[in-house]
Amino acid sequence: MVGTEKAHESNLLKRWIITICIFLIVQLIFITVDGTALEPNMNDSNNLVARMGRWILDSRLFTEWITPYSFPFFNMFITIHVIAILIADFFNDILKKIKKRDWHANNYFEQFKGANL
């Protein structure tokens, strides 16, 4: 049991290091590109998806509240990235607790397998 817990902790640490490294690499790319001519040119055609995207990007959330970058698309992307990381961690914790509970329940019933009750 102790060996599997240490292995799980090292896997968890590796996963977090990889996640944080990817997050920081994306941040460095955004910092480098923000405010330069390398910013992506958003298509402002008259189709519904483009109008909805422009409406979301021009909302106060990405132009006034969450503004680490001057380009609203980067602000939206970083917000979605952080939310995705938090949701993945939340579901991982839930699955870990469920597996641990099932393991303990199976071991509890294994004690009584040979006993005549």
pLDDT, tens digit, for every residue of 90-101?
888 788 778 777
Place of tokens 């917000």: 79
pLDDT band at 113 (very low <50, low <70, confident <90, very high): low
Q: What is the CB neighbour count within 10 angstroms for residue 76?
A: 18
pLDDT, tens digit, for every residue of 8-60?
677 878 888 999 999 999 999 999 998 887 777 766 667 777 777 778 888 88
Place of tokens 């509890």: 108
> Which has the closest alpha carbon to 22: 77, 76, 95?
77
pLDDT, tens digit, for every residue of 67-79?
888 888 888 899 9
Q: Is the distance from CB of 75 to CB of 69 less than 8 angstroms? A: yes
Helices (H), strands (E): how many in the chain? Answer: 4, 0
Q: What is the pTM of this model?
A: 0.66
